[in-house]
């Protein structure tokens, strides 16, 4: 039975990844300090071969017994979180990645970094390919997240080249689904909670900035495929179907049957104008592409938010 450590296991993606690994017959150690994670996310699979360890990965990590895989997903991931926790975000990207890589090296485990499309910043190349180096403002408010992930990628490659650690890097594009936090601050939780409450649905700027939305089960499938592959270069995992934020807001208002108005708020500093992954590498090397249509994924996510909000 393969044994895996998942950091950030009580978070949105980390909990879905942990569950998928359990379904594949893995023994899973989940590690989370619960700063942005929620034990409710792991409740559906407690009692299985899963244990949650409350620990901050910026401190030394010790795991007893053998370990085959390390999935490093610990980090504040939404703008609301990393703007409120800028130093913690930098530390988990730097010290946390260093500690996880050290553990993988010590155990002879394969390591996967959850990186992000934010390494491309506000891109000047569209769609974004893995060989694009990005357009990031290192001293802007979003730089704490963007540069933490860029530094983490550099450290992963250093351990791969110097210590021969088997490493993988996934660049995650916008992902959605059940277990997102209501107050997450990202578009889908914000739009759904506002529409369900009959409040104004707020878009930033004129709403013409674009995002590409991948349902969480598709994302997790890509992550597992990458970990089990022999691909050591970064790989984009996301849905290449691009849409504007305003169009997304209109679709969610229609799905909820809400009478909410769409109102505009000022655009945040350095907010990316476009997001669309080039997934050629994932298609050719992993035989992966997203399968869940947007309306189906939104329906599943909306059902979750209705339960969560008691509506």
Mean of all residue pLDDT scores within the chain: 96
Inform me whether the pLDDT recorded for 307 exceeds 90. yes
Domains 3-175+216-237 and 177-211+241-275+292-309 share a fold: no
Residue 267 pLDDT level (bands cut at 50, 70, 90): confident
Kindly list the domain boundaries of the chain, sorted by start residue: 3-175+216-237, 177-211+241-275+292-309
Percent of the chain with pLDDT over 90: 95
Residues 17, 37: Cα–Cα separation, whole Å:
14
Tokens matching residue 228: 């089990």
**What's the pLDDT score for residue 287?**
98
pLDDT digits (tens, 9 = 90+) for 105-159: 999 999 999 999 999 999 999 999 999 999 999 999 999 999 999 999 999 999 9
CB of 241 within 8 A of CB of 215?
A: no
Class of domain 3-175+216-237: alpha beta
Residues 194, 210: Cα–Cα separation, whole Å:
20
**What's the pLDDT score for residue 111?**
99
What DSSP line would sit under 177-197, residue for residue? -TT--TT--SHHHHHHHHHHT
CB of 63 within 8 A of CB of 6?
A: no
Sign of CA dihedral 106, 111, 114, 120: positive
Sign of CA dihedral 169, 212, 5, 97: positive
Residue positions annotated with a catalytic role: 145
**What's the pLDDT score for residue 271?**
83
Q: Region 29-56: what's the mean pLDDT? A: 96
pLDDT digits (tens, 9 = 90+) for 167-218: 999 999 999 999 999 988 899 999 999 999 999 999 998 999 999 999 999 9
pTM of the model: 0.97
Q: Region 236-256: what's the mean pLDDT? A: 96
Inform me whether the pLDDT recorded for 30 exceeds 90. yes
- My answer on whether omega of the bond before 127 falls inside 30° of 0, hence cis, is yes
Q: Looking at the domain that runs over 177-211+241-275+292-309, which CATH code has it been given?
A: 3.90.25.10
Residue 114 CB contacts under 8 Å (≥ 6 apart), including other chains: 8, 13, 71, 72, 73, 75, 170, 172, 223
């Amino acid at each position: 039975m393969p044994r895996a450590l998942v950091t950030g296991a009580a978070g949105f993606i980390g909990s879905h990844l942990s569950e998928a690994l359990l379904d594949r017959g893995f023994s899973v150690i989940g590690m989370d300090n619960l700063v942005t994670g929620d034990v409710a996310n792991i409740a559906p699979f407690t009692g299985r071969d899963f244990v949650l360890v409350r620990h901050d990965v910026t401190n030394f990590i010790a795991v007893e017994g053998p370990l085959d895989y390390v999935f490093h997903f610990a980090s504040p991931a939404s703008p609301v979180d990393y703007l409120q926790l800028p130093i913690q975000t930098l530390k988990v990207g730097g010290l946390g990645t260093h500690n996880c890589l050290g553990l993988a090296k010590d155990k002879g485990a394969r390591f996967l970094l959850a990186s992000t499309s934010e390494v491309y910043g506000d891109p000047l190349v569209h769609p974004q390919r893995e060989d694009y180096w990005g357009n990031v403002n290192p001293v802007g408010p979003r730089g704490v997240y963007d540069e933490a992930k860029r530094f983490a990628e550099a450290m992963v490659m250093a351990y791969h080249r110097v210590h021969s650690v088997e490493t993988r890097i996934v660049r995650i594009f916008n992902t959605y689904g059940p277990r997102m936090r209501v107050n997450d601050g990202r578009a889908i939780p914000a739009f759904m909670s506002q529409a369900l409450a009959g409040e104004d649905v707020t878009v930033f700027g004129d709403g013409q900035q674009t995002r590409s939305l991948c349902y969480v089960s598709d994302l997790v499938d890509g992550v597992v495929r990458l970990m089990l592959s022999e691909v050591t270069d970064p790989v984009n995992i996301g849905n290449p179907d691009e849409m504007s934020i305003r169009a997304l807001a209109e679709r969610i208002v229609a799905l909820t049957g809400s009478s909410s108005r769409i109102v505009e708020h000022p655009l945040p500093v350095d907010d990316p104008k476009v997001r669309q992954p080039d997934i050629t590498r994932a298609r050719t090397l992993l035989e992966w592409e997203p399968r869940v249509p947007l309306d189906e994924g939104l329906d599943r996510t909306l059902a979750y938010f209705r339960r969560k909000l008691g509506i």
